[in-house]
């Protein structure tokens, strides 16, 4: 190695010769590995594309009875039920067949002021979705409809239509909760002040020629986020947890472990003559003291994290699009109150939502090429919404079933939202107000 470095230094006046020496002394292998990895990534991307194309989806319109008295708790149970679709591919399926965990898309749309709850699901999960909904809403009507996002798709610039869009993201760690529906219940009466009402009022007030689309792409996920939440709780509480051994350590550290155990036993026996107890150590007093000495905000944070990680979670991608005829298009009139309604879910202490329109939406600066960038972003988010793309834009975040049910649930009878499509009976035909066609 010393001779190799000396040769490179000797070529200080000739960078090309130094590069050539590095190539000869193993650099070619690094380049070969990089090329092979790039080829594999292209191949895997094509495999994933082929797998995605092989999956068929259904667009379902869901209408609940007009006399619905169910709280968001019922929808929370629906999300818990649907998590049964969590089936991550094994290593062969993932890295050689291009398979990935399939996702649902729960959507709330308003077309010309007519509001509809939509679920877009892989066809294989159709029975699961129906079972989950009917278990909580036996008189619901589930109708297969055309995909409105494809039927109403257009590109910008458009002579008649304009478009605004964004993605929402949380502004804290995944394991911190937003405000959920129990926090909107009256302390004395227990009556729920439905946080969805302001949003439904805005959507129901759209004019003819205006549409708002909201999609929550939900991917069933594992429990890694819960483990991180538990680590955060332990850190806040001052509880020390011994790190777990890696798989490598478990597989190859057996001999070392036996030697270490023998060494520890020998030391214990040697120390026993000096009064050292061989009894196992009790729980650290500092850990117990840490729990008792938590500041109020720290105790509150620990309790909040515990509430969130105690329920099933989904990886979430949240998009909102507003489109309309140019002569009536007004983001200030529609989007401002809509964002305000979404900010109801924000907790200044823990977590909440923020629109990402500067980075992923269509907000641009003031410069000569701003208009071209805006058009590019408009088309990008429109295409991502139509395709229910999980890769474009913000990487997403974790919400548990209670948080999801707070954002997306069927309004109860007390909610005055006359424009929401509701059913008369379980086996009725799709309502005439349904803004979607076959």
CA–CA distance, 377 with 193 (Å, rounded to integer)? 37
- Which residues are within 8 A (CB) of 248 and not within 5 positions of it... i.e. 6 or more apart? none
- Which residues are within 8 A (CB) of 182 and not within 5 positions of it... i.e. 6 or more apart? 402
pLDDT for res 362: 79
- Bridge-based pairing of strands 57-63 and 313-325 is unpaired
- Bridge-based pairing of strands 114-122 and 141-144 is unpaired
- Bridge-based pairing of strands 141-144 and 210-220 is unpaired
CA–CA distance, 272 with 82 (Å, rounded to integer)? 58
In degrees rounded to 5, what are phi and psi of residue 338?
Answer: -65, -45
Contact 188, 301 (CB under 8 A): no
Specify burial of residue 319 (Cβ count, 10 A radius: 0-12, 13-18, 19+).
buried
How confident is the chain (438 residues) per 10-residue block, as mean pLDDT? 55 62 71 90 92 95 84 95 93 92 97 96 97 95 96 95 95 96 82 90 95 98 94 86 60 48 46 42 49 76 95 97 96 94 94 85 78 92 96 94 96 65 52 46
CA–CA distance, 44 with 94 (Å, rounded to integer)? 9
Q: Which residues pair with 98 in a beta bridge?
A: none
Quick check: helix, strand or coil at residue 324? strand
For helices 197-204 and 331-342, what crossing angle results, to 10°? 160
Closest C-alpha to 120, from 398, 408, 360, 392: 408
Please report the DSSP string for 34-71 in residue order: HHHHHHHHHHHHHHHHHHHHH--EEEEEEE-BTT----
Closest C-alpha to 86, from 75, 74, 102: 102
For helices 224-237 and 285-292, what crossing angle results, to 10°? 90
pLDDT for res 8: 53
- pTM for this predicted structure: 0.80
Q: How far from each other are the two terminal CA atoms of the chain, in whole angstroms?
A: 72
Q: Where are the alpha helices (DSSP H) in 122-253?
A: 126-136, 148-151, 197-204, 224-237, 247-252
> What letters, b where the CB count within 10 A reaches 16 and e where it falls short, cover 417-438?
bebbbbbeeeeeebbeebbbee
CA–CA distance, 349 with 205 (Å, rounded to integer)? 32
């Amino acid at each position: 190695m010393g001779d190799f470095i000396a040769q490179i230094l000797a070529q200080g006046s000739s960078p090309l010769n130094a590069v050539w020496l590095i190539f000869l002394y193993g650099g070619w292998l690094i380049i070969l590995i990089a090329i092979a990895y790039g080829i594999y990534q292209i191949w895997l991307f094509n495999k994933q594309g082929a797998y995605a194309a092989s999956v068929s989806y259904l667009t379902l319109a869901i209408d609940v009875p007009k006399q619905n008295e169910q709280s968001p708790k019922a929808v929370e149970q629906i999300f818990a039920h649907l998590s049964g679709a969590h089936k991550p591919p094994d290593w062969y399926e993932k890295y050689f067949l291009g398979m990935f965990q399939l996702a649902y898309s729960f959507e709330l749309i308003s077309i010309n002021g007519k509001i509809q709850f939509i679920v877009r699901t892989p066809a294989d999960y159709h029975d699961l979705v129906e079972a989950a909904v009917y278990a909580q809403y036996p008189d619901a009507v589930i109708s297969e409809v055309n995909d409105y996002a494809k039927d109403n798709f257009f590109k910008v610039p458009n002579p008649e239509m304009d478009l605004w869009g964004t993605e929402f993201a949380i502004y804290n760690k995944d394991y911190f909760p937003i405000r959920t529906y129990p926090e909107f219940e009256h302390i004395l009466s227990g009556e729920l002040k439905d946080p969805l009402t302001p949003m439904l009022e805005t959507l129901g007030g759209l004019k003819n020629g205006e549409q708002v689309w909201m999609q929550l792409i939900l991917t069933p996920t594992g429990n890694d986020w819960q483990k991180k939440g538990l680590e955060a709780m332990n850190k806040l509480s001052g509880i020390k947890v011994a790190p777990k051994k890696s798989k490598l350590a478990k597989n190859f550290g057996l001999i070392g472990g036996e030697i270490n155990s023998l060494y520890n036993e020998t030391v214990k026996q040697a120390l026993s003559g000096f009064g050292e107890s061989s009894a196992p150590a009790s729980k650290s007093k500092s850990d117990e003291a840490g729990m008792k000495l938590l500041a109020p905000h720290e105790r509150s944070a620990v309790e909040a994290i515990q509430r969130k990680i105690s329920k099933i979670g989904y990886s979430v991608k949240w998009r909102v699009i507003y489109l309309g005829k140019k002569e009536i298009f007004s983001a200030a009139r529609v989007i401002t109150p809509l964002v305000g309604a979404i900010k109801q879910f924000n907790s200044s202490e823990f977590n909440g939502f923020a629109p990402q329109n500067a980075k992923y939406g269509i907000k641009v600066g003031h410069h000569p090429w701003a208009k071209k960038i805006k058009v590019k972003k408009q088309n990008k988010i429109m295409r991502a919404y139509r395709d229910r793309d999980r890769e474009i834009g913000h990487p997403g975040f974790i919400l548990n079933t209670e948080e999801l049910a707070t954002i997306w649930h069927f309004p109860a009878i007390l909610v005055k939202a006359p424009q929401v499509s509701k059913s008369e009976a379980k086996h009725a035909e799709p309502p005439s107000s349904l803004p979607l066609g076959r």
